Amino acid sequence: MDLTNASALVTGGAGGFGSATVKRLAERGAKVVIADVNDERGEALAKELGNGSVYVRTDILDEASIANAVQTAASLAPLRAAVVVHGGPPPPGATGPQRTVNKEGKRIPLANFAHTVNIYLNSAFAVTSQAAEAMAQNEPMASNQRGVIINTASIAGYEGQPGQAAYSAAKGGIIGMTLTIARDLAPLGIRAMAIAPGTFLTYAYRSRMTDEQAQAHWGPMVPNPRRMGDPDEYAILAAHIVENDFLNGTTIRLDGAQRF
């Protein structure tokens, strides 16, 4: 997929994975819509790129907000790539891992479980379906290709840890829907892929500890290379998926052979 004279959409585009991916797609010629709620980082990144890319404040739990981001991308140039890499806030009042039944014998509220699934799975499908609808209007390129959508799963979708029931369910849902969506969209020439990252040094860790502390704690859990992942390594893979038309319908683990 050639991104020259094309647009791309990255939800969570001001975050760690997102900003690295935005830069990689912009390098390949795309005008990127940076969809996020962090106005300061998003606007600064758009200004840094200076190639016609824009920041659009986007609430991924609001379909109208998603539609605005998608429509903005399509107005810049044909939307050829969408990368869904956003996170979201924890359930209201929740702190730390949410075990199904905690040490005090209290169950996780269903509202907390549903909130996490909404953040990581339902919103991802909403972005995917709206982006695909826009891509379906594109003129086909080589091999009848109109676009590509990359969702973000997690190795927790395969091997979740205590307290991750809701997160694992959501990320397992990403893994489960990827092949089906690819088959749904195949007649339109739109590909669907997913990346399942392991432990990466993103803003989520940097908000709680220094890079050195994070690497010391989490790095030894990765067999090789013995460190946390760099968000740009996610972006490199995302950019390759966009370029390689024969990658379709699967989830790629990106984890340094890490298994929980």
In SS3 terms, the chain reads as CCCCCCEEEEECCCCHHHHHHHHHHHHCCCEEEEEECCHHHHHHHHHHHCCCCEEEECCCCCHHHHHHHHHHHHHHCCEEEEEECCCCCCCCCCCCCCCCECCCCCECCHHHHHHHHHHHHHHHHHHHHHHHHHHCCCCCCHHHCCEEEEEECCHHHCCCCCCCHHHHHHHHHHHHHHHHHHHHHHHHCEEEEEEEECCECCHHHHCCCCHHHHHHHHHHHCCCCCCCECHHHHHHHHHHHHHCCCCCCCEEEECCCCCC
Q: Is residue 98 part of a domain?
A: no
Q: Is residue 197 part of a domain?
A: yes
Catalytic residue among 167, 203, 205, 234: 167
User: pLDDT at position 34, please?
Assistant: 98
User: pLDDT at position 209, please?
Assistant: 87
Q: Is residue 97 part of a domain?
A: no
Q: Is residue 84 part of a domain?
A: yes
For the question of residue 167 being annotated catalytic, the response is yes
CA dihedral 25, 26, 28, 29 (to 10 degrees): 130
User: pLDDT at position 97, please?
Assistant: 78
What interhelical angle do 63-76 and 123-135 show, nearest 10? 30
User: pLDDT at position 205, please?
Assistant: 80
Q: What is the CATH number of the domain that holds 23?
A: 3.40.50.720
Ranges of the chain whose pLDDT falls below 70:
none
| pTM score of the predicted model | 0.96
- CB-CB contact of 23 with 98 (8 Å): no
Give the Å distances, CA to CA, from 184 to 159, 194, 249: 27, 15, 10
Q: Is residue 19 part of a domain?
A: yes
Q: Is residue 159 part of a domain?
A: yes
Q: Is residue 37 part of a domain?
A: yes
| Count of domains for the chain | 1
Which range of residues forms the domain containing residue 239? 7-92+103-253
Q: Is residue 258 part of a domain?
A: no
